[in-house]
Chain A
Amino acid sequence: EAGVAQSPRYKIIEKRQSVAFWCNPISGHATLYWYQQILGQGPKLLIQFQNNGVVDDSQLPKDRFSAERLKGVDSTLKIQPAKLEDSAVYLCASSLLDRENEKLFFGSGTQLSVL
Chain B
Amino acid sequence: QQQVKQSPQSLIVQKGGISIINCAYENTAFDYFPWYQQFPGKGPALLIAIRPDVSEKKEGRFTISFNKSAKQFSLHIMDSQPGDSATYFCAASMDYGQNFVFGPGTRLSVLP
Dominant secondary structure at the B interface: strand
For chain B residues 96-112, which have a beta carbon within 8 Å of chain A? 96-105
In the bound complex, what is the Cα–Cα distance between A43 and B96 (angstroms)?
19
Q: A33–B44 contact, CB under 8 A? A: no
In the bound complex, what is the Cα–Cα distance between A44 and B43 (angstroms)?
13
- Given known A42-B89, A43-B89, A102-B49, contact A48–B100 (CB-CB < 8 A): yes
Q: B97–A95 contact, CB under 8 A? A: yes
Partner of B43, one of A42, A102, A109: A109
Partner of A43, one of B42, B45, B99, B102: B102
Q: B100–A104 contact, CB under 8 A? A: yes
In the bound complex, what is the Cα–Cα distance between A31 and B95 (angstroms)?
13
For chain A residues 21-43, which have a beta carbon within 8 Å of chain B? 31, 33, 35, 40-43
Binding site for A on B (CB under 8 A): 6, 32, 34, 36, 41-46, 49, 89, 93, 96-105
